[in-house]
């Protein structure tokens, strides 16, 4: 479908399916991200498990104050999964949003509501982030078999951190000027954020300073469910708070950057009686 065809519907409920289809398409056609998800995640698990398997680590649950003595390999698999999810989700959304920004401006100029585009992008990010988290949580089962409740806790933690970094990718996609800047911030942020949560080789892993990192809540929830049979819902909500904060700021900037500043001036210049003859031609997507 071309973008000129996409501009035809003017009723919000008619625009939304088309806008959602464009958003999902943009976020799922990144072949490099697909290869990273399919090949990198199992390889990363294999490497991390080989490095840490058999070691006993102390991990603190802040909600209860309890220190858990856990298998280092299993805990490292959780942090490796969080690390994979953050980078891939952030990369996918950043790349898609940045490339589609000019196209989104033209859709707004052609009559699409910004609220419709914002809703479509939010739903697309949620769907893609959830799919990435689900695959990463399923892949962990080849290396470790937690209880059913423990696995669902890991899945929930992965999903929330995927939403968080998907929202960060959206924010950077509408904010930074060049691709390199966005990729650097996502990769470095994800590495520092997730690996500092693991006490393996990090003396700060059980210190309060980590409460200020986006992955703190999801990590606490995943570890609490997998090792302590504890559902730390408040910490999962903390992770969702980070996701909500990033997405609100990102969508506010998106709204500003796709605002139709020329619509009023163009309308004033339209000769009387010939307004219906002027059509915006959009590029083929």
138-174 pLDDT, tens per residue? Answer: 999 999 999 999 999 999 999 999 999 999 999 999 9
Higher pLDDT, 43 or 198: 43
Q: Taking the domains of the chain in order of start, what are their residue ranges?
A: 30-260
- Note the pLDDT of residue 205: 62
Distance of alpha carbon 155 from alpha carbon 133, whole angstroms: 7
- Note the pLDDT of residue 12: 57
Which of 42-46, 65-69, 236-240, 281-285 is least confident? 281-285
Please report which confidence band the pLDDT of residue 11 belongs to, taking 50, 70 and 90 as the band edges.
low
| HSE-CB for 41 with a 13 A CA cutoff | 28
Q: Which residues contact 76 (CB under 8 A, 6 or more apart)?
A: 48, 49, 51, 52, 198, 200
Q: How much of the chain, in percent, has pLDDT values that exceed 90?
A: 40
Given phi > 0 = left and psi -120 to 50 = alpha, else beta, which region is 59? beta
Q: Write the pLDDT tens digit of every residue in 213-240.
A: 999 999 999 999 999 888 889 999 999 9
């Amino acid at each position: 479908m071309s973008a000129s065809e996409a501009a035809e519907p003017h009723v919000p409920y008619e625009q939304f399916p088309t806008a959602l289809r464009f958003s999902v398409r943009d976020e799922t056609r990144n072949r490099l991200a697909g290869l990273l998800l399919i090949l990198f995640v199992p390889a990363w698990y294999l490497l991390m498990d080989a490095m840490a398997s058999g070691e006993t680590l102390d991990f603190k649950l802040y909600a209860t104050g309890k220190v858990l003595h856990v298998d280092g390999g299993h805990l490292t698999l959780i942090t490796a999964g969080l690390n994979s999810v953050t980078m891939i989700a952030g990369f996918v959304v950043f790349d898609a949003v940045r490339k589609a920004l000019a196209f989104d401006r033209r859709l707004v100029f052609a009559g699409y509501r910004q609220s419709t585009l914002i809703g479509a992008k939010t739903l697309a990010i949620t769907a893609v982030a959830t799919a990435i988290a689900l695959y990463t949580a399923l892949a962990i089962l080849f290396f470790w078999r937690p209880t059913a409740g423990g696995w669902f806790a890991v899945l929930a933690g992965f999903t929330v951190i995927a939403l968080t970094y998907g929202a960060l990718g959206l924010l950077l996609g509408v904010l930074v000027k060049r691709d390199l800047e966005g990729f650097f911030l996502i990769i470095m942020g994800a590495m520092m954020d997730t690996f500092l949560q693991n006490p393996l080789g990090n003396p700060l892993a059980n210190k309060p300073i980590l409460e200020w990192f986006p992955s703190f809540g999801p990590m606490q929830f995943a570890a609490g469910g997998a090792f302590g049979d504890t559902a730390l819902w408040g910490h999962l909500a903390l992770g969702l708070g980070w996701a909500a904060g990033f997405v609100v700021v990102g969508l506010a900037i998106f709204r500003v950057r796709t605002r139709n500043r020329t619509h009023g001036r163009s309308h004033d210049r339209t000769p009387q009686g010939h307004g219906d003859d002027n059509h915006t031609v959009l590029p083929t997507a």
